[in-house]
Amino acid sequence: MSAMIDSSIGMRRSSLEELEDKALQLIRERGDEGIYQHELWKMLGLDSREGSRLALRLLKKGLIVREPTVHNGRRTYKLFLAKQVKKKPKISIRIGNAIEVPCFTCRNLDKCHNGGFYDPSTCPILASWINGKIRTIKQLMAEQ
């Protein structure tokens, strides 16, 4: 009995996954244009209740996004494939320190670039500021 229930659940799960795959394929094919959710239900042969459940599952898994819109005077949603966003590393900068960098107040900042007349790799103002910071850090370390 238990084996029958398990196999029935397994079959339902695999057909659900197939349905999700088909839905994702159809949404993917629309690209940036997206697809109206009722259009997708029709293509998959689902009624609105089944279709809404499918969309919610895909939303919960983070595979799609939906945007509210109006189609033929009715409020509905457009579905899009979720972009796989790479997690950006968090960079923490204390503005108190960054504001001391001479480049922030330099009148040549917009003309300054590697290989240019004003070049950060050869700039005496920047080098002097960095050397000053290094001296301060060395002194602090020596005092500890």
> Exactly one of 22, 65, 76, 118 binds ligand SF4 (CB under 6 A); which one?
118
Nearest approach in angstroms of CB 112 to ligand SF4 is 3
Q: Taking CB under 6 A as the rule, does residue 128 contact ligand SF4?
A: no
Q: Taking CB under 6 A as the rule, does residue 120 contact ligand SF4?
A: yes
- Chain-centre distance of CA 86, in angstroms? 6
Q: Which of 127, 34, 135 is nearest to 78 (CA)?
A: 34
Kindly give, in sequence order, each residue whose CB lies less than 8 Å from that of residue 47, ignoring residues fewer than 6 positions away: 41
Enumerate residues 80-109 that contact ligand SF4 by CB under 6 A.
102-103, 106, 108-109
Enumerate residues 8-37 that contact ligand SF4 by CB under 6 A.
none
| Helices 37-44 and 48-60, axial angle in degrees (round to 10) | 110
Give the interface with ligand SF4 as residue ranges (CB under 6 A): 102-103, 106, 108-109, 112, 118, 120, 123, 125-126
